[in-house]
Chain A
Amino acid sequence: MGTEMTLKPHDVMRLVATRKSRRAAADESIWLCLTCETCSARCPNDCDPAGVIDTLREVSLETDVADAPRRIAAFHRAFLAQIESNGRLHEMGMVMDYKLRTGDLMKDVINAPGMVSRGKLSLRPDRIRGMAEIKRIFEKCGES
């Protein structure tokens, strides 16, 4: 994703190393990172830019330094909301939630029939029995 990022992993590392993490946390670039881990795997000095960027995202969310790009934030929220309600990802539910959040109602509509006919899209969520545990996990993590 480097070509699409204004701040590339080494730029992020430099900002963090020179105590300018806030600037990095406020930049959209950290949300474009896919955690493909290529940077961390190749670093000659065994640094972990992927891990640093992960942490900056958490910092950004907690300190509101900037909003994550709308679609990406909506995706993460929709994904996690699904887990919180069902314990497992109900893809159709997630996509619907994502569309409502982004207003991108036509997204992948063209693919929907194909998904259903191939048995890939279930209409009912698969809810686990241990929902109390899931609730507990989200609560405890929210506290930290």
Chain B
Amino acid sequence: MSTVAAPDTGTAATAAAPRAPLAYYPGCSLHGTSREFDESLRAVLAALRVPITEIDDWSCCGASSGHATDHLLGVALPARNLALAEAQGFKSVLAPCAACYNRLSAARLAVAGDTELAERIPDVLGRPFANTVEVESVMDLLREAAVMIEEKVAAALTPNPLEGLRLAAYYGCLLVRPPEVAGYDDPEAPTSMDEVLAACGANPVDWNMKVECCGGAFSVSRTASVVRLGRAIIEDARRSGAEALVVACPLCHSNLDLRQKAIMARGEEPMPVLFITQVVGLALGLPAAALGLDRHFVDTEPFIRRLVEQAAVRAAAEEKVKAEAAAKAAARRGKAESA
């Protein structure tokens, strides 16, 4: 079990509304290829004062391979983790990986709608399972915290590097479909990530490939498909004026970041791919290293450096304007007094 203590972010924090303890289900990717998602999420949740507790002894949710080959296995594997959360006294579990979120929610729905399945699952698991634990998506949590994020961004000590930055919010599939499973946003024109980006001071662009699949699980077994699909996404994001892509799914990130070299032609300008939690972290003034930004295949360092420099220039310009206005006001007062 690991709990995350709230570090001092140096901001005048708005008190978070008291929350029921939130279970945390990182999933296999967040412990492996998408470590930065886990790191940045923990950092951001700490800054937002949302305590999480990792589910003890959690196991893989089965991702695609579970449900694609065996329906019962596809329900049982995620159900084990929900049963663990139940036994460990939680009311809801946060599952940041889009696939894990979708599988856990789908398992809940399957069991709720099928009494035979509901009776069978505890036997398959060898554990009681009452289907009481709710599953929360990281997008929904961040969207609910948008006002708090906005306040913290305004109160941060360093100027916001994301101010006005044009970002393409890429939702992919499993965050928004099927609508019965992932019901918190519009499946055709979702806005949750865009709202969070706006709260961070960024400028989410209007673009067309928001919910088109990146190739998901074919990263290894059918890479050519991923390259084809990824190309359409990055091209459209670029055409819409985005300077970076923002994702909330480890597989989307991998397909667009790790595979970007295969997607782009030689000499083409790379496009950084950031996790939403990394974006929020940057806006809140958290250091890049704490957000795992050095773990990407498409180098983020020059990009971040440029943003920070531009932010500093902006801040300096604002200071200058303020100083000039103050000087004028003082001069006017002086004149009035001497008259």
Contacts and interface: CB of A to CB of B under 8 A. Distances in A.
A71 B123 CA distance: 33
B16 interface: no
Given A95-B220, A134-B59, A35 B33 contact: no
B57 A54 contact: no
A120 B33 contact: yes
Interface residues of A, number: 56
B29 to A, nearest CB: 8
B169 to A, nearest CB: 18
B72 interface: yes
B115 interface: no
A41 B187 contact: yes
Contacts of A71: 221-222
A120 B295 contact: yes
B324 interface: no
Interface in B49-89: 57-60, 62-74, 76-77, 80
B306 interface: no
A74 B60 CA distance: 18
Contacts of A74: 221
Interface string B171-212: 001100111000000011000000000000000000000010
Contacts of A120: 32-35, 295
A137 to B, nearest CB: 5
A34 B32 contact: no
Interface in A85-99: 87-91, 95, 98
Interface in B213-268: 213, 215-218, 220-222, 225, 258
A54 B58 CA distance: 25
B125 interface: yes
19 contacts: A1-B225, A34-B64, A36-B177, A37-B178, A38-B213, A41-B187, A54-B74, A72-B221, A75-B221, A88-B28, A91-B32, A120-B32, A120-B35, A128-B59, A136-B126, A137-B124, A140-B76, A141-B70, A141-B124
Interface of B: 28-29, 31-35, 57-60, 62-74, 76-77, 80, 123-127, 173-174, 177-179, 187-188, 211, 213, 215-218, 220-222, 225, 258, 294-297
What are the 5 tightest A-B residue pairs by CB atom distance, in nearest-first order? A89-B28, A37-B177, A36-B213, A75-B221, A79-B65
